[in-house]
Amino acid sequence: MIVEINEDILYPNLLYNSPIVYSENITLHPIRMENIIAFQQYITSFTIRKNSVFPIKNIIKMSYLDFLFYCTQHLELGMEYKIPYLQLLYRFAGLLLIMVCKNQEVSIGSDDAFFRINGEIIDAEKFDDLRRIILIQNDVDFNIDEFLNHDTEEALKKAQDFENKKKKEKSSIEDYIDSVIVGLKVTEEYVQNLTIRKFWRYIKRMSKHEEYQALRLAECGGMVTFKEPIQHWMTTLEVEDKYSNLKTDEQELRSKIE
């Protein structure tokens, strides 16, 4: 792919859940809610921060695709780092490609690190392209070009878990599905056919709408005065990254060990 892959470039396709054509042989389809359980399992193969989780020189030098294949041959790595499913990630990546490449022939290399889609070999560079597209297309909050120190990431996760416990927020995917059905007055079949990206956007938009109404009611009733104007519920869902100063570029890290 010649152009840089980012959300702005893909936005025309994201707007109405259109498939994304990567090449004349490869078209990527957004995952729908009926497949969310399998997707949540397989997407782990795209979101391992290999350079921070495994601060080993030869692993950092590897492409992500080579790393996934390496894990299938070195079971001790998963045992050492207490990631028992590590050896399965290469297979998960192939199954995820099968999911997004509807009605296309996908084969998984068993003797070397490669996939083949409709006869086109997916090498390390193309795999990174597809990985970027699939993450964006399905609204997965993960940037493959970022480096976040593993200890820092774990600390941030613990802080988020603590905040959620304080708010007593514990919801399963079924709870969220129920909420969309009740909130939008739609059927289970409708939700099943939603793309994952749109589903989570609806969840966020409903939450923002309820918060806006509550704040406006409090403000209009004279119960409270806000220092800043209340953000309208129709404004952007994008959230400012509070931890951007803790992240670096993965390519920059790799260049330091060449």
pLDDT in tens, the chain (258 residues): 556 899 999 999 999 999 999 999 999 999 999 999 999 999 999 999 998 899 899 999 999 999 999 999 999 999 999 999 999 999 999 999 999 999 999 999 888 878 999 999 999 999 999 999 999 999 999 888 876 666 666 666 666 665 556 556 678 999 999 999 999 999 999 999 999 999 999 999 998 888 888 888 877 877 777 777 878 888 888 765 545 544 455 555 455 445
Single pTM value for the model? 0.83
Extract the runs of DSSP E, i.e. beta strands, from 10-83: 20-21, 27-28
| Beta-carbon contacts of residue 147 (< 8 Å; ≥ 6 apart) | 49, 51, 52, 247, 248, 249, 250, 252, 253
| Beta-carbon contacts of residue 19 (< 8 Å; ≥ 6 apart) | 13, 27, 28, 29, 30
